[in-house]
Structure 1
Amino acid sequence: MIYNQFDIGRILQVFFIQGLIALFFLYILYQILKRGRKRINILFAFAYLFVLIGLINNMVYAFIRNEPLLIVLNFITNFTVTFGLIFLTLFNMLIFFSEKKIDTKWQITIIIIYGAILFLQILFLPFGGIIANESTNWKALWSFPYYLYVITVISVGSIAPTIIISIQIYLEMHEPELKQRWVYFIIGALGVVFYMYGVFTVDLFNDTLIRFIWSLISLTIVLWIYLMYYGVGRQLSSK
């Protein structure tokens, strides 16, 4: 049987908390695209879109009780959420280096290389990289090697470059108002990093209380993504 009896705590955690987060992501995504369809807007929107896809996918498989299917769907969630980070990196690169230096060819190359390395996490699955069965209460439990691989790839491939370039952009700015808004972007980006690391670290533990507490803390992602959106300000031009 694929579906089992609903668990009130899990309904609250998955559908209420993650549902609210998903709706807010959808709202911000709409606001970004409403301001224009320039490449820089599209890249910023993709960062939100892939996380949104991951959240929705997570809600879809929340009550599935089929181990192989659960593992595949969890892998898809992990990949889409972490893949979205590279678009945030490219967004920063376009602001700092301009589209002339980071042209379409470079952007596609970076996306493919990052995506390919990230996708290699699939090699851990046959060796217990993700476990999701009755012993884990049908929740995804990561092995430490799988966790270490994912964290290393996103840290080196996206998070570190994003933070470093964000600081460089701040140092290059001269208008006080622009600098202040960019500080909000950096704070938001650091908050998103905290959220990502937290979400994946919690998957190392098969503890319902820890996961529930983290799901409440994860509501702060609404603040972080809003600060990022507010902080980019004029970069998301409608022209």
Structure 2
Amino acid sequence: MVLFEFDIPRFIQVYIVQLGMGIFYFLIGLVILKRDTKRLNQLFATFYILAASASIINVIYASIFINLVVKILHFLTYFLFCFAIVYLLIFNLIILKSEKLFTIKKHNIIAGTYAVSLLVLILIPGGITINKSTDWKPVWSLPFLIYALIVISCAIIPCFYFAVKIYKKLEDKALKKKWAFYILATLIYFAILYVASISNFLNDPTFRLITSIAGLSLFATAYLLYYGVGKQIGE
């Protein structure tokens, strides 16, 4: 069944922000890999591709009206948006410590632990409600929201911390300026993720509209990340 009528916030969120973001992020990810396929490029491109995949899945489930399917796809969307962060964290750690010190094994341990922590969300009873009664918009329970915010903060806080450490170590002014753009872009991405999570709990039409409009900043985020780091790692 296809959805023919959207309210304004939903239309903006799904067909402008999410679809546009999905295409934009995917293309940037491909550009990064085209420049080079070394480990740093792979990590940075993976962030873009995971975020792009989440956006496309969100567009797909907006037109589906099967409770279980929609709930699973919504969870998968959120999981991918959150899981993408760990690749920025690992990216920062490698720049700070070098590839030799931050091995593939450590990479896998961090990514695996974070993934399992996120997957626990699906086990929270009544965590997500999304059906006809919610107008097919996701509504989260308080325990689900609290756990989600705690888990993503476990990736966001160290990601920001290590990014700042790298910034302080840089001596070249041009590089510092570009890295500052990178930090700004990650903060915007993190902020949107927090706001979107809270929006799903509040289930307030006005707050959802504000969140949808704020989501437009993710286009700028994609470019700022690429401008700050993506163009350099392939050179």
Same-fold status (TM-score > 0.5): yes
1:214 maps to which of 187, 211, 218 = 211
1:4 & 1:55 partners in 2: Cα distance?
A: 18
1:12 & 1:232 partners in 2: Cα distance?
A: 29
Contact 2:22 2:54 in 1 (8 A): no
Pairing 1:117-196 to 2, within 5 Å after superposition: 117-124=117-124, 127-156=125-154, 158-196=155-193
Question: CA deviation digits over 1:64-111, x for unaligned, max 9?
Answer: 222222111111111111111100100000100000110111111111
Matched AA of 1:146? F
Question: Over aligned residues, Cα RMSD in angstroms?
Answer: 1.6
Give 5+ residue unaligned stretches, structure 2: none
Question: CA deviation digits over 1:9-62, x for unaligned, max 9?
Answer: 334431123222222212221221122001011001111111111111110010
Instruction: Kindly report structure 1 stretches of 4+ aligned residues shifted beyond 6 Å.
Output: none
TM-score, reference length from structure 1: 0.92
1:177 & 1:3 partners in 2: Cα distance?
A: 50
1:229 maps to which of 217, 226, 231 = 226
Give 5+ residue unaligned stretches, structure 1: none
> Residue 26 of structure 1 corresponds to which residue in structure 2?
26
Determine if the alignment matches structure 1 residue 107 to structure 2 residue 104.
no
1:198 & 1:209 partners in 2: Cα distance?
A: 13
Greater CA deviation, 95-104 or 205-214?
Answer: 205-214
TM-score, reference length from structure 2: 0.94
1:233 & 1:18 partners in 2: Cα distance?
A: 22
Deviation at 1:136, TM superposition (A): 0.8
Deviation at 1:221, TM superposition (A): 1.0
2:69 & 2:102 partners in 1: Cα distance?
A: 39
Matched AA of 1:152? I
Question: CA deviation digits over 1:96-132, x for unaligned, max 9?
Answer: 00001101111111111111111111111xx210001
> Residue 53 of structure 1 corresponds to which residue in structure 2?
53
Deviation at 1:174, TM superposition (A): 1.0
1:97 & 1:120 partners in 2: Cα distance?
A: 30
How many pairs were matched up? Answer: 234
Greater CA deviation, 94-103 or 15-24?
Answer: 15-24
